[in-house]
Structure 1
Amino acid sequence: MKKTHFLVSMLALAFFSSCQNGDENDNENLRKEEVHAKTVNVTNHDGRPFSTGSGSAAGKFVSGPGGGVLMQGFYWDVPEGGNWWNTVKDKLTAWSDSGIGAVWLPPASKAQNGAYSMGYDPTDYYDFGNFNQNGSVETRFGSRTELEALITKAHAENMQVYADIVINHNSGGQSQANPFTGTNTWTDFSGVASGKFQRSYNDFYKNSYGNNDEGAFGGFPDLCHANPYVQDWLWGRDDSVGKYYKNVMKFDGWRFDYVKGFGPWVVNNWNSNVGGFSVGELWDSNVNTLEWWANNANSSVFDFAAYYKMDEAFDNGNLNVLNDDMMWKRNPYKAVTFVANHDTDVINNKMPAYAYILTHEGYPTIFYRDYEEWLNKERLNNLIWIHNNKATGTTSILYTDTDEYIARRNGYNGNPGLVVYINNSSSWQERWVETNWSSQQIKDFTGNSGWYPTTQGDKWVKVQAPPNSYSIWSLNQ
């Protein structure tokens, strides 16, 4: 959720918110002294949380050995006017062609601020722009028909669609007398236009179930997940929010907003009853906390530990911190990595950060504005292709200093893996490294280096990286 773009009203609490290959036979002892290898023992991760395509026609996503990537299909304050679903739908074929296997959409249901809301102030979970309430029929993003057309088009491209789910708090209820507070509270949702999941004061804290749960947000009515009625409507009933999104609207997975506000058991129960991919927004750089939550929620989690380490590494000139612990090192199956999102965009030197997450383990996310507006799309597509086709196997960190970082993906199931070399210095750098390959020619798949070296019989080879950039090496095949 956007943490800084809300205006709260008394009535509504609304959101506005290159040298050829002659060097490879250099003295073996010299080059082994140059490279200090450090191996990170992390679990092998070669799939992604969506099915592998098989023999589909051009224009449809097909998962490669390294899987695919996730596109965050929005940013904060996308244009108003109800055309966002059409904007995203029109980009799906190009995204699919580029190797993007899933898209994460903003909260899709009607919210307190109607046609102006980014959706993080939900009122009626079953109104996808088809009921006239909160001042509009359509949401900021468009109509239900347009949303359904987007999802249908994504599935035709073999892509998955993830819904942003906001179940910590609600907004847009009417005032009612609340015996648990002794005041009036904005907790009467009996008049929601869909007629589904009507709520009253006992469905929010404080109430007969207690005074509070793990956390409230911004003064909004705090949904009480301890109430069996709330549980039933969120994930239990055949027409519960989760099952309706999955079975009727055809969403494939979930991004849970502000999971600090309720226990991980909530997401665990949703996943057990509804299914689908899930990832939680636990805004915390402590990897122990991230791992604890992911395990207890039976869910992936955004790797904020990696996010802040990348900022320190690439913006503050200390690549040594990439040796530190991160969620993808703890459990890559449950780590969703990212460089920016709609809430936070602190990394300025983004291309090496994308080179990092698209060559390492975890499930990498591309931010819409980085891809469509701000960065070099051709370079990003190159990294996505490398990720999907070469980024396999466990990870070994081969060398780090302040300005240089070299790591190896060790390959898996016949796929050769890769070596990534990130150079934060202002000049070309070269290093001898131990690869996965004996007496074979390799190349830099980014095209940044013109070298085509042949590895020695013991798998060692010299590679290079350009200033303030990166190179990614694998078998020349």
Structure 2
Amino acid sequence: MKNPNFKLYLASLVMAGLSSCNSNDNLEADTFASTSKFKIINVTTDGRPFSTGKSSSSTTAKYVANPGGGVMMQAFYWDVPAGGTWWDTVKSKVTAWGNAGIGSVWLPPASKAQSGALSMGYDPTDYFDFGNYNQNGSTETRFGSKTELVNLITQAHAENMQVYADIVINHNSGGQLESNPFTGTQTYTNFTGVASGKFPRTSADFYKNSYGTNDEGSFGGFPDLCHAAPNVQNWLWLRTDGVGKYYKNTMKFDGWRFDYVKGFGAWVVNSWNANVGGFTVGENWDSNVDNLNNWANSANSSVFDFACYYKMNDAFDGNNLALLNDDMMWKRNPYKAVTFVTNHDTDEIWNKKLAYAYILTHEGYPTIFYRDYEEWLDKAKLNNLIWIHNNKATGTTSILYADNDEYVARRNGYNGNPGLVVYINNSSTTLERWVPTNWVSTQIKDFTGNSTWIPTTQADKWVKIQCPPNSYTIWSSNL
């Protein structure tokens, strides 16, 4: 859905001259247990962390990306240019995105909506009109024609990228008036005349009806689809020529982002997955981790990690990085967590460069927002983080240190991949810290280029690293 208040991101970085690091500082090693996934770390008087023993167990190892790879691009924003050019715009960029390491593209709702060529697609009328029928005042959608959409999907697949469709199945809009026996009034619930002739529906398919007065939630006064109705189930996910299977088998979409999943039961997405297949992620706008995790498990689907989003906002903009110790969906179940910094609905995080450094080094399925990548932030730095994510961010996560200004975490590596150590500094001065690593007597470097130090880890795997002000460094070996 829509939140039209976008912030333009402005950031500047003044880097101080950096001296080389002496890796032979002789500090006595403390015991550090690395068998658990998350650890809250305190600091001894000699500056080296020790484990408090607070941890949570995990059986996960390397994060295996959902279909399409380890980084997703949200390939739109609210009110992208109208005029039917957006599919061609995205098509012109997918090769460069693929070369940068982006593995999947999330597109806006692709079918004809009530506002025709002006609509962002969240008021759907005809699920089978991709800009090829003259209805609702236009033939093309806001984004273009069916042919242009097919060409975009084909090009993305040629670049070995997956394509996910935003799908709105909570509500419909643009129906004709009919006498509604369930309300005793005239309602806009007659969709029997849609131009495609597919998924005809009437008042019997919307609440209130013979199945009840409502389901989990309605939105904006739009007619609320009743997923308990056989006609709705058949056309959405059961029929071979229904919405889900047509999107997958004919249009060649690889998965779906389900809009406003609070409006219907998790069983709907679960049944969709069982009958259609493909990747799915739900927009369950909720910062409560229990609610996110319960929905993801019930739906057998990924879910956007709103808990992580709001913690990052408070941590990076509120100068309290210790909040990153708190619970998040990616810590509960990284295989079902889709992390993000901004989307078309909400843009609250100001210190985005630190937030992207966080999600692209941690577990979960990170998403990059189109305008952040193409307009607002430093694309070269984002490409660097994407490369680090795809090549170094492996294994479970150990949080090594966190306070108001500093956050240090280690990815523990997997299957011969060395993992990494990420150091985030939200203060105005350069900081240094001793940390335990994955490597014995190994030369490491900062793969972001924000530090020129090239230290060597000690025999006990400890090393001193640094981070410039309001910045991040990401350390690993060359293995």
Aligned pairs for 1:34-53 within 5 A: 34-37=48-51, 41-42=57-58, 43-50=60-67
Could you say what secondary structure the match of 2:460 adopts? coil
Shift of residue 169, structure 1, vs aligned partner? 0.1
Q: Which residue of 2 aligns with 1:441?
A: 443
| Paired position in structure 2 for 1:28 | 28
* 2:260–2:283 Cα contact (<8 Å) kept: yes
Partner-residue secondary structure (3-state), 1:294: helix
| C-alpha deviation, 1:32, in angstroms | 6.0
Aligned partner of 2:19 in structure 1 is: 19
| Secondary structure class of the residue paired with 1:22 | coil
Q: 2:380 aligns with which of 371, 378, 389?
A: 378
How far did residue 217 of structure 1 move?
0.2
Distance 1:190 1:3, change over 3 A: farther
Show the counterpart of 1:391: 393
Deviation per CA, 1:336-358: give whole Å up to 9, x if none.
00000000000000000000000
Does 1:222 find its partner at 2:243? Answer: no
Alignment-derived partner of residue 312 in structure 2: 310
Deviation at 1:37, TM superposition (A): 4.1
- The corresponding residue for 1:293 is 295
Map 1:61-460 onto structure 2 (within 5 A).
67-460=69-462
The structure-2 alpha-carbon separation of the partners of 1:232 and 1:300, relative to structure 1 and needing over 3 Å to count, comes to same
CA–CA distance in structure 2, aligned partners of residues 32 and 437 of structure 1: 21
1:109, 1:124 within 8 Å by CA — same for their partners in 2?
Answer: yes
CA distance in 2 between partners of 1:328 and 1:41 (Å): 13
Instruction: Tell me how far apart the structure 1 counterparts of residues 3 and 185 of structure 2 sit (CA, whole Å).
Output: 28
Contact 1:35 1:431 (C-alpha < 8 Å) held by counterparts: no
Deviation (angstroms), 1:47: 1.3
Over aligned residue pairs, what C-alpha RMSD do you find? 1.3
CA contact (8 A) 1:41 1:396 kept: no
Q: Deviations over 1:231-269 (max 9, x none)?
A: 000000000100000000000000000000000000000
Equivalent pair of 1:40/1:396 in contact (CA under 8 Å): no
Q: 3-state SS of the aligned residue for 1:138?
A: coil
Structure 2 residues without counterparts, runs of 5 or longer: 6-17, 30-43
Residue deviations 1:427-462 (CA, integer Å, cap 9, x gap): 000000000000000000000001100000000000
Is the 8 Å Cα contact of residues 36 and 399 (structure 1) preserved in structure 2? no
2:23–2:456 contact (8 Å) kept in structure 1: no
Contact 2:62/2:413, CA 8 A, preserved across alignment: no
C-alpha deviation, 1:78, in angstroms: 0.0
In the TM superposition, residue 4 of structure 1 has moved relative to its aligned partner by 6.1
Q: Per the alignment, in what secondary structure is the counterpart of residue 475 of structure 2?
A: strand
Distance 1:86 1:31 in 2: 59
Q: Which amino acid aligns with 1:118?
A: M
CA drift at 1:126: 0.1
Output the amino acid matched with 2:67.
F
Q: Distance in 1 between matches of 2:46 and 2:195?
A: 70
Q: CA deviation at 1:31?
A: 7.8
Helix, strand or coil at the partner of 2:92: helix
Letter paired with 1:433: V
1:391, distance to aligned residue in structure 2 (A): 0.2
CA shift, 1:20, in A, is 2.1
* Secondary structure of the corresponding residue to residue 371 of structure 1: helix
Equivalent in the alignment of 1:471: 473
Shift of 1:50: 1.8
Amino acid at match of 1:239: D
Partner residue in 2 for 1:64: none
Give CA-to-partner distance per residue, 1:7-55, whole Å, 9 cap, x none.
xxxxxxxxxxx3324244332257865324465544324210126xxxx
The residue type equivalent to 1:75 in the other structure is Y
Instruction: Describe the shift of the 1:392–1:304 C-alpha distance in structure 2 as closer, same or farther (beyond 3 A).
Output: same
Q: In structure 1, what is the Cα distance between the partners aligned to 2:321 and 2:399?
A: 12
* Counterpart amino acid of residue 228 in structure 1: P
Maintained 8 Å contact 1:318/1:402: yes
Q: Which residue does 1:57 correspond to in 2?
A: none
SS in 1 for 2:93: helix
Q: Is the 8 A contact 1:409 1:418 kept in 2?
A: yes
1:221 and 1:385 map into 2 onto residues whose CA distance is 45
Q: Distance in 2 between matches of 1:4 and 1:410?
A: 40
Task: Give secondary structure in 2 for the equivalent of 1:177.
Answer: strand
CA distance in 2, matches of 1:305, 1:420: 21
Q: Secondary structure at the match of 1:438?
A: coil
Task: Supply the AA of the counterpart residue of 1:50.
Answer: P
TM-score (norm 1): 0.93
Q: Structure 1: how far apart are the matches of 2:62 and 2:3?
A: 32
Match of 2:2 in 1: 2
Find the aligned partners of 2:177 and 2:473 in 1 and give their Cα distance: 60
Q: CA offsets per residue over residues 276-296 of structure 1, 9 Å max, x none?
A: 000000000000000000000
- For residues 91 and 36 of structure 1, the distance between their equivalents in structure 2, rounded to whole angstroms, comes to 47
User: Partner letter of residue 27 of structure 1?
Assistant: L
Give the TM-score of the pair, scaled to structure 2. Answer: 0.92
Q: Which moved more, 1:454-463 or 1:23-32?
A: 23-32
Q: Is the Cα–Cα contact under 8 Å of residues 41 and 395 in structure 1 kept in the other structure? A: no
Deviations 1:111-138 (A, max 9, x none): 0000000000000000000000000000
The question of whether the paired residues in 2 share the 8 Å contact of 1:302 and 1:335 is answered with yes
The one-letter amino acid paired with 2:61 is: N
Question: Structure 2 vs 1, CA of residues 346 and 36 (structure 1 numbering), >3 Å: closer, same or farther?
Answer: farther
Distance verdict in 2 for CA 1:31–1:465, change over 3 Å:
farther
* Residue type of the alignment partner of 2:49: V
Contact 1:45–1:333 (8 Å) recurs in 2: no
Amino acid at match of 1:35: P
